A and B are shown apart, each in its own frame.
Chain A
Amino acid sequence: MTTPLLPAQSALRRRIIPWLLVAPAALWLFVFNVWPSLNTLVLAFTNAKPLSGGHFTGLDNFGRMLDDTQLVDALLNSIVFMAVCLPVLTFLPLLLAVLVEKKIPGITFFRTAFYTPVVASAVVVALIWSWLLSDRGVINGLAQEMGVLQGPLPFLTDRWLLVFSAITLTVWKGLGYYMIIYLSALGNVRRELHEAAAVDGAGPVRRFWSVTVPGVRNTMLLVSVLVAVSALRVFSELFVLSNGTGGPGGRAMSLVMLIQLYSRGFYGHFGYASALSILLFVITIGPMLLLARLSRKAA
């Protein structure tokens, strides 16, 4: 027979146990998220370097951004990246999900095939693509063999071709991931609505726009924010395709590549790199705010 707890003991337990349960996750979050973020914020106002603490320099690092031509290029590249990836990776996976949702023999193969690039390492995939796209790569070789091109296209050495090659790679790699998200959302769209629309004479395109799209609207909002944030934070694709150089003049660098450049090595400029991180944060918060507003409207 167990001794019943006194009311005071029971209340104490009720107060303490939830905190104990949450403590490991909270500790993890504080050490690996909150603390580095606060540290980044502090460092952004200093001239800190790896082996020296640095001094408070006020807004100098932010003022320095105004004269940084590399930052202008990186911002433009990141924005173009987002502007192209956002519509493509919001709609294309939805179309793909609608296609593979159908229960026909062999469809599992296509679902798996579309998802395979997601599980492949981004760096390995980018390396394979750099072989495909180089001057002596398969794509240029085939195009010249077929007489489509006279000489190789500079996919990896021209600024915009490099950026668009990286976008293509990102889209190819991301399709399967967002397709899976849409597949689960499509399962929640009521079948009767499709049937009713079909009875009313709506064709497949009309049913897609009038039934499917409204049915997965919240998922589309989520996907578009995920795509926007990851596009603004693009790194691996551009880094590997440009061999880490950012292309001639570094004009194909992304904002994260620029942060990486300044935060590396014995002479890393942690202060400036932190200020750039704050800038990246301010930019990426935009899509999140938009999602919050749209979600509230939808609700």
Chain B
Amino acid sequence: MRRYWTGLAVAAVMVVSGCGLGGADPQAAPASTAAATGEVKGTVTLQTWALKPKFTTYMEGVIGAFEKKYPGTKVEWIDQPPDAYSEKVLNQAASGTLPDVTNLPPDFARPLVMQDMLLDVAQVDPKLAEEYVAGGLDAYKFRGFSGTFGYPWYLNTDVNYWNSELMKKNGLDPAKPPATFDELVEQARIFKQKSGGKAYLMSRRPELGDLTQAGVKILSDDGKSFVFNTPEAAAVIDKYRAAYKEGLLPRDVLTDTYAGNAKLFNEGTVAWTTAGANHIIAVKTDNPSLAPKVVPSVAMGIPPLYVQGLSVSKKSKNPAAAIALARWVTSPENQAAFAHEVSVFPSTKASANDPFFTKSDGTNGGDAKVIAFKSLATAKVLQPFEVTEAMSKFIRQQIALALTGEVSSKEALDAAVAKCNELLNQ
């Protein structure tokens, strides 16, 4: 009998260990920011996200120039692969091995700020506001925390992309794409009638950003509760729900991820997607024959602002060199050189007048770049950084359920708000 229970206990341990979870201790107390203004010398680590191998030459040039400008410095460059970057950063933060300078988008930076792991660069760099655009800096200021926790690096926004061939084939004029949601639904109806439901114009589910666009407040002013379950928000979802019921959207929208509509667009199944300024490069790779037929236009409503930045670890043993390196990589010259290689946009004010961003070379990629650059002037961060991965997933699931008609839009939003508040306050 005893042997039987021992065997059972071992088996049980093996079952549970398949789902084993590890805890983490908070990182040790931060170093003083006073050292950040010292001599720029010594070794400093820089971590970027998915720049190798495409931008290896560019980054090596930037690093080489930094080491030349500051003799006695050595930069150890680590580039992490695109997948599971958040897990990698999380492990580094939990084990106290965060590099001196790390590429962190604001939503990755916030949890580290909450644990006092990042340096307030505004404190050691008084010229910050003069040199970087406000939208970029604002993305690194977090509710409830005083300071700016990263140098904005490059910016991007969404552009509308239209498949001109599919539009013409299905009775639409690609030169006059819809500019509002109502026009979109109207054109989607014509498109559906012509295509017989074999192709679609629309293929995206509403997200939190759509609610922000409609003037719905997502989070209370004190940041302590989500409040987006309003009649106005329900009205936004109701519009999509009606379009779905009418068969104007493919069923894929119920289980697609955020990038789902771009994927269907690249496959040639749908005629419209929103994506960043460099999306045509992805189309050229996925579906080369489609690329020349793509026509870009300005995004509907308020364009979303996407920010990438470089943050400095508070535990850095060489903060002066780390600050200098972050400034160097995000300097107007280096940002402009980077933006000339790929369609991203500098976060420095000095780059605003670069004709490269305001004049198209006549290609659809060039047009998209100009449209995106002009859109950045009005672009905003549409989703609060308090929204976590689990919250986003739950919200998407509820919106999908509302689209199917199983619950009303208001019920879906109520459930989403209740879950988000539960997760926020735990």
Give complex CA distance A70, B398 in Å: 11
**Beta-carbon contact of B11 and A288 below 8 Å:** yes
**Beta-carbon contact of A248 and B406 below 8 Å:** yes
Interface presence of A39 (CB below 8 A): yes
Chain A residues whose C-beta falls within 8 Å of the C-beta of B11 in the assembled complex: 288
Give complex CA distance A262, B256 in Å: 20
Chain B residues whose C-beta falls within 8 Å of the C-beta of A47 in the assembled complex: 426
| B94: contacting residue among A50, A269, A284, CB under 8 A | A50
A82-90, A198-206, A274-282 - interface stretch: A274-282
Minimum distance in angstroms from A287 CB to a CB of chain B: 10
**Beta-carbon contact of B13 and A249 below 8 Å:** no
Chain B residues whose C-beta falls within 8 Å of the C-beta of A154 in the assembled complex: 251
- Residues of B266-295 at the interface with A, using a CB-CB cut-off of 8 Å, are 269
Interface presence of B396 (CB below 8 A): yes
Interface residues on A, range: 35 or more
**Beta-carbon contact of A156 and B255 below 8 Å:** yes
Give complex CA distance A33, B9 in Å: 12
Interface residues on B, range: 35 or more
Interface mask (A47-59 → B, CB under 8 Å = 1, otherwise 0): 1101111100000
Interface presence of A292 (CB below 8 A): yes
Whether A36 contacts B22 in the complex (CB less than 8 A), given A51-B90, A243-B257, A248-B255, comes out as: yes
Minimum distance in angstroms from A255 CB to a CB of chain B: 9
**Beta-carbon contact of A53 and B23 below 8 Å:** yes
| A53: contacting residue among B26, B90, B93, B254, CB under 8 A | B26
**Beta-carbon contact of A244 and B404 below 8 Å:** no
- Residues of B296-340 at the interface with A, using a CB-CB cut-off of 8 Å, are none
**Beta-carbon contact of B8 and A280 below 8 Å:** no
Whether A37 contacts B26 in the complex (CB less than 8 A), given A50-B94, A233-B18, A288-B8, comes out as: no
Interface mask (B367-395 → A, CB under 8 Å = 1, otherwise 0): 00000000000000000000011100110
Give complex CA distance A270, B24 in Å: 10
Minimum distance in angstroms from A127 CB to a CB of chain B: 13
| B16: contacting residue among A250, A272, A273, A281, CB under 8 A | A281
**Beta-carbon contact of B13 and A33 below 8 Å:** yes
Whether A37 contacts B20 in the complex (CB less than 8 A), given A135-B251, A249-B401, A269-B426, comes out as: yes
Interface mask (A23-47 → B, CB under 8 Å = 1, otherwise 0): 0000000001110110111010011
| A40: contacting residue among B16, B254, B407, CB under 8 A | B16
**Beta-carbon contact of B19 and A40 below 8 Å:** yes
Minimum distance in angstroms from B26 CB to a CB of chain A: 6
**Beta-carbon contact of A264 and B16 below 8 Å:** no
Closest residue of chain A to B269 (Cβ to Cβ) is A136
Whether A51 contacts B26 in the complex (CB less than 8 A), given A33-B13, A266-B90, A267-B389, comes out as: yes
Interface presence of A176 (CB below 8 A): no
**Beta-carbon contact of A292 and B4 below 8 Å:** yes
Interface presence of B83 (CB below 8 A): no
Closest residue of chain B to A152 (Cβ to Cβ) is B251
* Chain B residues within 8 Å of A, Cβ to Cβ: 4, 8, 11-27, 86-87, 90, 93-94, 108, 110-112, 114-115, 117, 250-252, 254-257, 260, 269, 388-390, 393-394, 396-398, 400-401, 403-404, 406-407, 423, 426
Q: List 20 A-B contacts (CB under 8 A).
A: A36-B16, A39-B23, A50-B90, A51-B26, A51-B117, A53-B26, A134-B252, A245-B393, A247-B255, A248-B254, A249-B398, A249-B406, A250-B393, A251-B401, A261-B393, A265-B389, A266-B111, A269-B423, A280-B19, A284-B15
Contacts A37-B13, A51-B94 given; 20 further ones with Cβ under 8 A? Answer: A36-B20, A37-B16, A40-B16, A51-B90, A53-B24, A53-B26, A156-B251, A233-B15, A245-B257, A248-B403, A249-B398, A249-B406, A251-B401, A264-B87, A267-B390, A269-B426, A270-B21, A277-B16, A277-B20, A278-B16
